[in-house]
Amino acid sequence: MTAPLAATQPDDVASAAIERRPLERYVAPAKPSLVGLSRAALAEALGVAGVPDRQRRMRVHQIWRWLYVRGAQDFDEMTTLSKDLRSELAQRFTLARPEIAAEQVSVDGTRKWLIRLPGEVAGQPHEVECVYIPETDRGTLCISSQVGCTLNCSFCHTGTQRLVRNLTPGEIVGQVVLARDRLADWTQPSPASGGGKGGGGEGDKRLISNVVMMGMGEPLYNFEAVRDGLGVVADGEGLSISKRRITLSTSGVVPNIARAGTEIGVMLAVSLHAVTDELRNELVPLNRKYPLRELLDACRNYPGLSNARRITFEYVMLKGVNDSLADARALVRLVKGIPAKINLIPFNPWPGSKYECSDWEQIEKFSEVIFNAGYASPVRAPRGRDILAACGQLKSATEKLSARERLALRAMAMTD
């Protein structure tokens, strides 16, 4: 089940204009993959394969470690399972990850994968992008929650993509698994471990230490799949990326913010980008449905919020649009009383975009106002710009703008 989309309500005229694209349906492969199932779903699958009730817990435990500590890609690697069980499983299931359609490596080490998912519409495959960003003290994987996005923020490339569907929990977890495959980021067998043990615990140094759900899509419009998928990613006996190291970014789906706190429990980032409803309506049209006051109230009441668990407010720096020092002061007033960090994101241009990034001096001055008011105000260094992997530049290769669309966007920019 996916969170109901208000866009599908025929009587909701205002929201239909905001969330304008229909969702495509997921087409399940004939032989399903075990990758990404929750423990309960995995136990159920084992039941289908004839594993008796009393053995299921133990088998789930074993398979879980093979899948998420060792990154097994073949049932035959699972040497703690009997040969019979392995072949029984192989007849019914796979360990398939989403397929990599293309890989690009930036001069700064950022890697972007174009990922092909099952399903196509009019010959067009369902695709998402996933980006790995290495830093000195951590490695962050940016994952997607939807093919495209039903919203259309005016500065975001993903929002221009026509095709939209929700990812399954398996496809969400699959991005992390696939990135660990490509980066050889699994625990290697130790001679004494006998195969199924080792790794996943404290002191285990992995390249991917953090996950941000800041790729394609609006995660809170795919609530259940995101909750279940991130539950698997955070599981301490498997992929083991703790909830403190997972950040979910939302454009402000107010009714699901409290649920995200209680049911998902990861760190929250909110795409603010403007300090008045008038401007936010234009930049993030969802604001017309959930205006600033409601959004900030939801943030103030975010379950588990504390000085150690702050909300990150994201603010894209658009030259001459939202980057005045008066804006910076208003921003500080707006978030007053909320344990917060403010993350300034230099605007990343994309073909046909109608904005420019603020000048560097202006970003620095803006950041200073915020810093002087007592907030951390890091400026997000653009990464992987040369391969269009930076924030908001993601868009599947098959969905590049046509020449006519580019012209239309340019014309819009001129009349604005």
List 23, 178, 214, 328, residue binding ligand SAH (CB under 6 A): 214
Q: Is 105 exposed, middle or buried (0-12, 13-18, 19+ CB in 10 A)?
A: middle
Residue 299 in contact with residue 269, Cβ under 8 Å?
no
Residues 6+ apart with CB under 8 A from 96: 29, 33, 35
Q: Which of the listed partners (ligand SAH, ligand SF4, none) does 314 bind, with a CB threshold of 5 to 8 Å by partner kind?
A: ligand SAH
Q: Which is nearer to ligand SF4, 151 or 363 (CB)?
A: 151
Q: State both tokens at 122.
A: 């009019």
Q: Which is nearer to ligand SF4, 16 or 369 (CB)?
A: 16
Residues 400 and 160: their CA atoms lie apart, in Å, by: 9
Q: State both tokens at 218.
A: 């609006």
Verify binding: residue 18, ligand SAH, rule CB under 6 A.
no
Residue type, 154: S
* 129 tagged catalytic: yes
Q: Which of the listed partners (ligand SAH, ligand SF4, none) does 311 bind, with a CB threshold of 5 to 8 Å by partner kind?
A: none
Q: Which is nearer to ligand SF4, 149 or 409 (CB)?
A: 149
Q: Which is nearer to ligand SAH, 38 or 271 (CB)?
A: 271
Residue type, 147: V
DSSP for 67-126, please give it.
HHTS---SGGG-TTS-HHHHHHHHHH-B-PPPEEEEEEE-TTS-EEEEEEEEEEETTEEE
CB of 166 to ligand SAH, least distance (A): 13
User: Among the options 19, 127, 129, 171, which is catalytic?
Assistant: 129
Residues 187 and 143: their CA atoms lie apart, in Å, by: 22
User: Rounded to a whole number, what is the largest CA-CA distance in the chain?
Assistant: 69
CB of 271 to ligand SAH, least distance (A): 4
* 224 tagged catalytic: no
CB of 57 to ligand SF4, least distance (A): 39
Residue 156 in contact with residue 164, Cβ under 8 Å?
no
Query: Applying CB under 6 A, which part among 45-53, 164-172, 334-342, 343-351 lies near ligand SAH?
Result: 343-351
The residue among 328, 344, 349, 356 whose CA lies nearest residue 381 is 344
Site residues for ligand SF4, 259-278, by CB under 6 A, read: 271
The residue among 265, 242, 269 whose CA lies nearest residue 380 is 269
List 128, 143, 151, 409, residue binding ligand SF4 (CB under 6 A): 151
Q: Which is nearer to ligand SAH, 134 or 382 (CB)?
A: 382
Verify binding: residue 156, ligand SAH, rule CB under 6 A.
yes
List 24, 218, 282, 314, residue binding ligand SF4 (CB under 6 A): 218
Q: In DSSP terms, which residues pair with 102 in a beta bridge?
A: 114
Query: Applying CB under 6 A, which part among 41-49, 118-126, 151-159, 233-241 lies near ligand SAH?
Result: 151-159
The residue among 157, 122, 217 whose CA lies nearest residue 395 is 157
Q: State both tokens at 387.
A: 């391969």
Would you call 205 helix, strand, or coil by DSSP?
coil
Torsion angle in degrees (nearest 10) through CA of 112, 123, 224, 148:
50
Site residues for ligand SAH, 65-124, by CB under 6 A, read: none
List 211, 316, 328, 363, residue binding ligand SAH (CB under 6 A): 316
CB of 156 to ligand SF4, least distance (A): 3
Verify binding: residue 226, ligand SF4, rule CB under 6 A.
no
Residue 284 in contact with residue 19, Cβ under 8 Å?
no
List 106, 158, 348, 377, residue binding ligand SF4 (CB under 6 A): 158
CB of 170 to ligand SAH, least distance (A): 20
Angle at 290 between CA 288 and CA 294, to 5 degrees: 135
Site residues for ligand SAH, 229-288, by CB under 6 A, read: 249-251, 271
CB of 112 to ligand SAH, least distance (A): 15
Verify binding: residue 393, ligand SF4, rule CB under 6 A.
no
Q: Which is nearer to ligand SAH, 240 or 312 (CB)?
A: 312
User: Among the options 142, 153, 357, 391, which is catalytic?
Assistant: 391
Residues 213 and 146: their CA atoms lie apart, in Å, by: 10
> Which residues form the interface with ligand SF4 (CB under 6 A)?
149, 151-153, 156, 158-159, 217-218, 251, 271
